[in-house]
Amino acid sequence: MTKPTLFLTRPLPEPVMAGIPARYELISDPPDRPPSPVELKQGFARADAVICTLSDRIDADLLSHAPRLKIVANYAVGYNNIDLAAARSRHIVVTNTPDVLTDSTADLTWALLLAVARRVVEGDRWIRTGTWPGWAPTQMLGSDVSGKTLGIVGMGRIGQAVAQRGAVFRMPVIYAGRRRVPAPLDLPWEWQPLDAVLAKSDFLSLHVPLTDMTRHLIGPRELTLMKPTAYLVNTSRGPVIDEAALVSALEAGTIAGAGLDVYEQEPTVCAGLISLPNVVLLPHLGSATLETRVRMGLICLDNIAAVLGGRPALNRVN
């Protein structure tokens, strides 16, 4: 019996790759770089199932050249890279990888928050220049984190996981978003309108999906509402922030600093951000632990097995 065909746009961690040949015919060995538009089209043309990543743009034209395709398993929790309506109109199931990356993304959010507040990366850079003169009372002063107000925009799974970690730092949590979530027992979480969250937060962390509603959710007006001592952290999607407005706000001292894992035009990072000392920049590492990336791959394979086996997908988003 012939195996179903699978197109992978990028190589996945070895434990995921190891399970593929027994169940699927891999259309081609995926290159360790983004596929070209031609490679994408060739892969989609022959695939029963596809595993793609957040940087692959899966649009209506590409889907119209995929006559046998049953499922696109996006190797990410976010799926703004896929035209869901076009997929639905062709009866192609789209799935994502929720839950399994919640902790790793929340942990990385905290790594950014602490790094920018306590100037960790600046300090590391200084040591490496060999010019550190030794301890001094006024040297590299950052900001307290413990006891400060943590603002969350988007209180979904990852927003809640970030908020939970705030309890260890005795931080009151205020949040904005469509959903009101019950606070875990004894935790001071309070829903407030976005403008109030902007104005009151000492640390503001973004956890909304990228949609037409959230594109440039944080722009010049919102940045002006923030405290000059506040820090902005983004591990969601780059276009949620108007990056040019953020650079101006950081240069002008409208806010104190930013920790960013995502950018408006990935992989390009605007020069204005790169030249600022009060910004910590990471290369979209939210889910980048071996354990998480293996779990993400296995979920993709489970969804594919379900759909090709005639069962409902586990994580359908369209």
Residues that bind ligand DGY in the complex, under the rule CB under 6 A: 54, 76-78, 101, 284, 286-287
Task: Please pick, among 90, 157, 165, 266, the residue that the annotation labels catalytic.
Answer: 266
221 flagged as catalytic: no
Q: Which is nearer to ligand DGY, 30 or 78 (CB)?
A: 78
Contact predicate 7/44, CB 8 Å: yes
C-alpha triplet 33, 34, 36: angle, nearest 5°: 120
Could you count the other beta carbons within 10 Å of the beta carbon of residue 81?
A: 18
Catalytic residue flag (residue 39) = no
> Terminal CA-to-CA distance of the chain, rounded, Å?
31
Nearer to ligand DGY (CB atom), residue 287 or residue 303: 287
Nearest distance from C-beta of residue 96 to ligand DGY, angstroms: 7
List the catalytic residue out of 119, 207, 284, 293: 284
- CA-based nearest residue to 295, from 148, 57, 142, 77: 77
Instruction: Find the shortest distance in angstroms from Cβ 214 to ligand DGY.
Output: 14
As a whole number of angstroms, the distance between CA 62 and CA 272 comes to 34
Residue 166, classed as helix, strand or coil, is helix
For residue 222, what is the enclosing H or E element? helix 220-225
CB 34 within 8 A of CB 14: no
Report d(CA 244, CA 72) in Å as an integer: 33
Catalytic residue among 237, 243, 264, 295: 237
Dihedral sign for Cα atoms in the order 239, 242, 246, 247? positive
Q: Shortest approach of ligand DGY to residue 54 CB, angstroms?
A: 5
> For residues 213 and 271, which CB has a smaller minimum distance to ligand DGY in the complex?
213
Q: Smallest distance, Å, CB 36 to ligand DGY? A: 22
Q: Scan for tokens 């919102």, then name that residue.
A: 222
Q: Does residue 10 carry a catalytic annotation? A: no
Residue pair 246/258 in contact by the 8 Å Cβ criterion: yes
Shortest reach from residue 260's CB to ligand DGY, in Å: 13
Q: Where are the beta strands (DSSP E) in the chain?
A: 5-8, 25-26, 49-52, 71-74, 93-95, 150-153, 173-176, 189-191, 203-206, 231-234, 257-260, 279-281
Comparison of 9 and 149: residue with beta carbon closer to ligand DGY = 9
91 in helix, strand or coil? coil
Smallest distance from ligand DGY to CB 55, Å: 10
Q: Which is nearer to ligand DGY, 254 or 303 (CB)?
A: 303
Nearer to ligand DGY, 30 or 286 (CB): 286
CA angle 278, 254, 137 (to 5 degrees): 50
Tell me which residues are annotated as active site: 237, 266, 284
